[in-house]
Structure 1
Amino acid sequence: MLCEEDFKPVTLADREFFERHSELYPQTHSSNTFTNMVCWNHFTQYRYAYVNGNIIISGTTGGITRFHPPIGPRDPELMRELIQLAMKVSDNTPLIFIDPDTALWIRELEPDLELVPDRDNFEYVYRASDLAELPGKKYQKIRSHLNRFRRNCMSTVEPITPENLEEVMELLKKWRDWKGCDKNPVLSHEVEAAFYAVEHFMELRLRGFLLRVDSEVGAISIFERLNADTALIHFEKGLPDCEGIYKAINAETAAALADEVEYINRESDLGVGGLREAKLRYHPHHMVEVYSLKRPSPVSGARGPSRVSLREHEVLFAALKRTN
């Protein structure tokens, strides 16, 4: 029977294990990526169990543990054990980031369970060529802003390498100071995740670009390959020195990736209105949908009110992941 003792912390030493498993079972959502887990481990404590060829991930935030569905071969008994464990130790949303195929399978196994779409965690996937070329009337306003940036700012782009990682770190420190992260614990968590990614850039096999304005680094983009046809943007940061710099680093990154992948995943909006509008403005090709399992109500022997509701968790995490 699956139990909490089967789970152990996700650490940097687990990278090759997770990479081998991802090659067997490619992912489409960022929630299950190793980079996401180790970079954000200070905020959500990630653990995993390996059972019958499946990886099961748990994340604990604010004292509440929630689980991801198994990644691996379909195992009805294991799924039932996971649901039982999640119902025992979690809050009213014990199982999260359920992909549509797995949601259908769960409904076949346990028809009485309530699975609901988690729109705030749907991820936006764009054609790389669209982000690079900004074609047609629907991108006219973005093209206009980008062209204004290019007229007003002398810029160059280069890959992030071991030789310029220190400059990338300096950009993040300037961004931290600009945003006043020392007085804002939410932003402090975000910059800590980005620092970790840069400090372990080579170990995590990340890639990225930096954009120089008048020889100074003004923006960065850090990404990795998510699966065979999709790249995943983990971090994108820029300074306010030149209007339109975010549109510039976005376009430059997409132009470089367009020869390698068809799609770029730019993660979710987590229900933040301004962020949702900004992501929709770039006209996603499709969304990566996910579902959540809801605890039946009323529940006999319920654990009582959750200290951190799912919505509270989403709002906090949205603020952490927000880009300007």
Structure 2
Amino acid sequence: MLGQTDFKPVTLADRAFFERHYALYPQTHGDNTFTSMVCWNHFMHYQYAYVNENLILSCTAGGVTRLHPPIGPRDPALMREVIRLALEIGDDNKPLILIDPETAKWMKKVDPDLLLVPDLNHFEYVYRALDLAELPGKKYLKIRSQINKFRKKYRHLIEPITPENRKEIVEFLVKWCESKKCEENYTLAHEIEAVSYAIEHLTELPLRGLLIRVGSQVGAISLFERLNANTALIHFEKGLPEYEGIYKVINAETAALLVNEVEYINRESDLGISGLRKAKLRYHPHHMVEVYSLKRQTCFPYII
């Protein structure tokens, strides 16, 4: 019987294991990536179990534990075990999360009584790389105008992020955090810790990055990786607010670098933040990575 003792913490030392498994079962959602897990471990406390060639992820935030569905060969008995454990240890109304559409359909075949609901706040935005790089047509006119304005106004350079400029990026993150008052924002405080971890462990993770140097100082950064065969994933994108339009420039420069490598760019979810949702919709996503959650029902004795 699957239990909590079958799980162990996700650590940097597990990178090779995750890469081997995801080579067999490519992921489409950024939250499942090894990079996301280790960078956010201070907050999400990720654990994993490997059972019957399936990877099962668990995360605990704010004292609430949630499970992800098994990643591997379809195994109805194991799926029932995961559901049972999720309902047993999860205090949340949605104890099983990040269920992709195909897995959701399969789960309904395993048990038609399961209540699976769309988790809109964790739908991820996916764009054509060519659209983000070239910003074609009238729908991107305003964004192109803002980029051109930035390029005319500021002397700037585009550089790759390397161990050599890591110290400058740490200094940039301090400035960015001060501008956003991270100490007063619970979410940003955790996010800056995640970005800092990514920079500190840059060479130990499958990350690449770009920075924009305005004059002599770093004004913006992006950190990204290959998610699967045709998609790149943008993990972090930060810019100093005094440089108007800099977010749009780092977005376009990152896409210009990736456009010859992948067809799509995943820019993650909006977490239900209305301003972030508007910003992501402004770039006209090609499609969304949909995910579902198992909703706990009032009368739902799921004991296998």
> What is the TM-score of this pair, normalised by structure 2?
0.97
CA distance in structure 2 between the aligned counterparts of 1:27 and 1:162, rounded to whole angstroms = 28
The one-letter amino acid of 1:51's match is V
User: For 1:223-261, what per-residue CA distance to the aligned partner results, in whole angstroms no more than 9, with x for missing partners?
Assistant: 111001111000101112310000000000000000111
User: For 1:5-61, what per-residue CA distance to the aligned partner results, in whole angstroms no more than 9, with x for missing partners?
Assistant: 100111111111111111111000011101111111111111100001111000011
- Post-superposition offset of 1:300: 6.3
1:105 correspondence with 2:112: no
- Post-superposition offset of 1:186: 2.9
User: For 1:126-145, what per-residue CA distance to the aligned partner results, in whole angstroms no more than 9, with x for missing partners?
Assistant: 01110010000110111111
Secondary structure of the equivalent of 2:233?
strand
Instruction: Tell me which residue corresponds to 2:134.
Output: 133
Instruction: Tell me which residue corresponds to 1:35.
Output: 35
- Post-superposition offset of 1:173: 1.4
Q: Write out aligned runs for 1:118-129 (5 A).
A: 118-129=119-130
Secondary structure of the equivalent of 1:202?
helix
Instruction: Tell me which residue corresponds to 1:7.
Output: 7
Structure 2 alignment gaps of length 5 or more: none
Number of residues of Structure 1 aligned to a counterpart in Structure 2: 301
Is the Cα contact below 8 Å between 2:35 and 2:206 reproduced in 1? no
User: For 1:46-88, what per-residue CA distance to the aligned partner results, in whole angstroms no more than 9, with x for missing partners?
Assistant: 1100001111000011111000000111111100100011111
1:206 correspondence with 2:191: no
Structure 1 alignment gaps of length 5 or more: 302-324
Secondary structure of the equivalent of 2:46?
strand
CA distance in structure 2 between the aligned counterparts of 1:21 and 1:194, rounded to whole angstroms = 25
CA distance in structure 2 between the aligned counterparts of 1:74 and 1:253, rounded to whole angstroms = 37
Q: Write out aligned runs for 1:15-164 (5 A).
A: 15-90=15-90, 91-164=92-165
Is the Cα contact below 8 Å between 2:76 and 2:110 reproduced in 1? yes
- Post-superposition offset of 1:299: 5.0
The one-letter amino acid of 1:120's match is N
Secondary structure of the equivalent of 1:21?
helix
CA distance in structure 2 between the aligned counterparts of 1:233 and 1:34, rounded to whole angstroms = 14
- Post-superposition offset of 1:177: 1.9
User: For 1:69-119, what per-residue CA distance to the aligned partner results, in whole angstroms no more than 9, with x for missing partners?
Assistant: 001111111001000111111122111000000000000000001001111
CA distance in structure 2 between the aligned counterparts of 1:21 and 1:137, rounded to whole angstroms = 43
1:294 correspondence with 2:295: yes
Identity of aligned residues (%): 69
